[in-house]
Amino acid sequence: MSKSRVYTNVNVLRPKEYWDYESLTVQWGDQDDYEVVGKVGRGKYNEVFEGINVNNDERRIIKILKPVKKKKIKREIKILQNLCGGPNIVELLDIDYDYSLDLWGLGCMFAGMIFRKEPFFYGHDNHDQLVKIAKGHCYLVSGVSVGYRHSRKPWSKFINADNQHLVSPEAIDFLDKLLRYDHQDRLTAKEAMAHPYFSQVRAAESSRMCTQ
């Protein structure tokens, strides 16, 4: 097995809380305190933006993680915490995770399932995917210049002979309420579970419980 020539045993010499990111308890902040100004760059799991604290107009760097497994989010946060005070990361101010991001991901998967088009939003890279979302879902992405303005395309345009048996009015309504750009308008997980699309599932579960 190949080993690094330096720092091979760095975690052995450090206390467990330094490297055990899976046990990390995150103190979440408030994302409403920050506003994105412009894009700085991106990584495999994140997009990096220049921003400001709206309370005091101080400039900040905002790192927005993509939809990934929770342990990867914790690992990223732990790395940033360990680097605090160094030359590149002076201070880690706020950490925030919005679970509405998971509901957007659910909407993308659900659209792929009922329209039999996976992935539903396909792009060659992040920018191209954003263009596909703006063109296909037909909204203007606020704060991001993608060069397109479109009127809204009805979901019925995605229905064809191969997928029409999977599409119902309840399915379309469920999808429409998941794929909302404004996370404040998007369904929460609890609201999604209570949606009429799952009425038959709830009825079957209720019947099963009554017979036990």
Residue-level pLDDT at 148:
45
Range scoring the smallest mean pLDDT among 23-27, 28-32, 120-124: 120-124
Quick check: 154 pLDDT over 50? yes
Inform me whether the pLDDT recorded for 138 exceeds 50: no
Same fold, 10-83 and 100-211: no
Tokens of 139: 């909204």
CATH number of 10-83: 3.30.200.20
Residue with tokens 């467990």: 16
* Short-list 164, 165, 131, 124, CA closest to 147: 131
For position 159, what pLDDT does the model report? 92
pLDDT in tens, 156-165: 888 999 999 9
Residue that has been written with the tokens 């609201």 in this structure: 191
Q: Are 53 and 91 in contact (CB under 8 A)?
A: no
- Please state which architecture CATH assigns to domain 100-211: Orthogonal Bundle (1.10)
The domain locations on the chain are 10-83, 100-211
pLDDT level of residue 192 (50, 70, 90 thresholds): very high
Q: Decide: pTM greater than 0.85.
A: no
Q: Is the dihedral of CA 113, 115, 117, 121 positive or negative?
A: negative
For 34, residues 6+ apart whose C-beta sits below 8 A from its C-beta are 51, 52, 53, 54, 60, 62, 94
Express each pLDDT in 56-96 by its tens digit: 888 888 887 777 777 888 888 888 887 776 655 556 666 66
* 26-66 residue pLDDT tens: 887 777 788 888 887 777 677 788 888 888 888 888 887 77
